[in-house]
Amino acid sequence: MPSNKAGIIPRLCLRSAFPSFPVSPLNERPMSSALRPSACPGLLRIVQALDGGICRIKLNGGSITAVQADIVASAAERFASGVIEATNRANLQIRGIGSTHGPLIDSLMASGLGPTTAAGDDVRNLMLSPGAGIDRTMLFDTRPLAERILDTLQGNARFHDLSAKFAVQLDGGESLAMLEHPHDLWLSAFEQDGEKRWAFGLAGCPTDTSAGSVALNDGHALVVAVLDMFLEVARPEQTRMRHLLAEHSREILLNRLAERLSIQAMTDWRRTLDSRPLHIGAHPQAEAGVVYVGAVPPLGRLDPVMLRGAAQLAARFGDGTLRFTPWQSLLLPTVRNEDAAEVIRSLERMGLFCDPDQSLTRMIACTGSSGCSKSLAETKGDALQMAALLKRHGQVLNVHLSGCSRSCAAAHIAPVTLLAVAPGHYDLYFRDAAQPGFGALHARHLTIEAVAALLDARSRSPLDA
């Protein structure tokens, strides 16, 4: 049963959201059969941090309507500190929530942003491309399949035993796709001899070697089969697919899957990674005459004015929705070509960035010591200083500042990582596929100024040309 720090959900809120939801009348906490203990925040589970409670809103496919975005902005104003975060799984978080949780949760549930079942909130970890259904290079519109998978995850009690971190990715072959975040199961659309199929893999990314493929119509069956197999084979302490693969060979697991559906062996296919920053600025959609406009809030943080303003632009110039991305940014889809420049100007006036040549568009930083007791440095402030120094040197680099080794802000390994060791001091790592963790350690205990000077000198070295 959740402790106070894991969030207490008032009886009124849960009864209005879920009329049959079991609640203890003595302490007004949800019974353990409905909401289990976890350190991961959710919409129904407010987790305490140094700067107040955190509520994580899991967005279906990363998408939110303009009306829902306005409700999130209002909830952050009324019940929290006004800090709204775009996460690296294309979700939203409200930070700085006070002791009263019920009205905040009620307002979000009433807007359709919550789970269909209380226990289903934890398992809604399904990531799509932000360009699903609109990307010019997509092979398959993943949204209908995603909706079916989410219904299955929430509606089948056996899947509620999955870890709150267990995650699935659907890749429809879009150019705009995050292919570096590891998932417990990934599916990636490809075409073979005129037939579209799903390549899939366990505990990795679509850029890894695939484990096999199934017919396009078997995508849902594959997800169900993998989840069933995992729950049957894994011990309680094995919460992620990588834990299972540490004890069982991939071949053994694939053989078990092959008993449930037709799998074609395929070990020579990999998804190619597009390194262009397609989540920033205006880019053509599959439909002629329209673009999506991508904008990056500084270090992934929005205030209510930013979110509400972006929602108003989406309603006026777009299709009335916003899409959040794994790069901690947002998209306004279906903007007419002739309106794109005005939308970009408006977003930039709000404080968002729409130019990929701006340093802060490539900078990632965790919450830092102002909001997290585990962080050894004020990473947000240090990142702003780093961005200013890189701008002075004319550099735009992908840099990740992490206050501790947990790497909460980035699910993938960045080209450059600064790991805090003390306030204002970091160890510097460069990504290296041959090295575990953040990569190759280059220097220790550097100030932000020293890091910027070192990165500038490295960029000018002929060895790195």
pLDDT in tens, 58-87: 999 999 999 999 999 999 999 999 999 999
* Rounded Cα distance, 17 and 237, in Å: 32
Residue 304's CATH number = 3.90.480.10
What is the pLDDT at residue 462?
A: 57
Contact predicate 328/300, CB 8 Å: yes
| Residue 263 domain flag | no
What is the pLDDT at residue 18?
A: 44
Residue 395's CATH number = 3.30.413.10
| Residue 133 domain flag | no
Contact predicate 183/204, CB 8 Å: yes
| Residue 128 domain flag | no
* 371 and 436, same domain (yes or no): yes
Alpha helices in 318-424 (DSSP H): 340-349, 379-392
Q: What is the pTM of this model?
A: 0.91
Other CB atoms within a 10 A radius of the CB of residue 412 amount to: 16
* 194 and 226, same domain (yes or no): yes
Measured CA to CA in angstroms, residue 384 lies from 142, 250, 378, 400, 404 at distances of: 37, 44, 10, 12, 18
* 235 and 213, same domain (yes or no): yes
* 152 and 247, same domain (yes or no): yes
| Positions of the chain with pLDDT under 50 | 1-33, 463-465
- How far is C-alpha 418 from the chain's CA centre? 21
**Domain endpoint, select from 354, 373, 396:** 354
* 196 and 98, same domain (yes or no): no
Residue 42's CATH number = 3.30.70
* 240 and 156, same domain (yes or no): yes
Phi then psi dihedrals of residue 311, to 5 deg: -65, -40
* 295 and 397, same domain (yes or no): no
What is the pLDDT at residue 31?
A: 33
| Residue 311 domain flag | yes
* Rounded Cα distance, 231 and 256, in Å: 13
* 346 and 372, same domain (yes or no): no
Q: pLDDT tens across 434-459, in order?
A: 998 999 999 999 999 999 999 988 87
* 249 and 225, same domain (yes or no): yes
Q: pLDDT tens across 229-263, in order?
A: 999 999 999 999 999 999 999 999 999 999 999 99
Percent of the chain with pLDDT over 70: 91
* 367 and 344, same domain (yes or no): no
| Residue 233 domain flag | yes
| Residue 164 domain flag | yes
What is the pLDDT at residue 23?
A: 32
* 339 and 372, same domain (yes or no): no
* Rounded Cα distance, 100 and 98, in Å: 6
What is the pLDDT at residue 315?
A: 98
**Domain endpoint, select from 333, 354, 375:** 354
| Residue 319 domain flag | yes
* Rounded Cα distance, 348 and 346, in Å: 5
* Rounded Cα distance, 223 and 83, in Å: 35
Q: DSSP strand E in 17-91: where? A: 47-49, 52-57, 63-65, 83-86
What is the pLDDT at residue 437?
A: 92
| Residue 167 domain flag | yes
DSSP 72-113: HHHHHHHHS-SEEEE-TTS-EEEEEE-S--HHHHHHHHHTT-
Domain count, the chain: 4
Domain that holds residue 230: 139-172+180-258
* Rounded Cα distance, 220 and 119, in Å: 21
What residues pair up with 187 in beta bridges, in sequence order?
170, 200
* 430 and 372, same domain (yes or no): yes
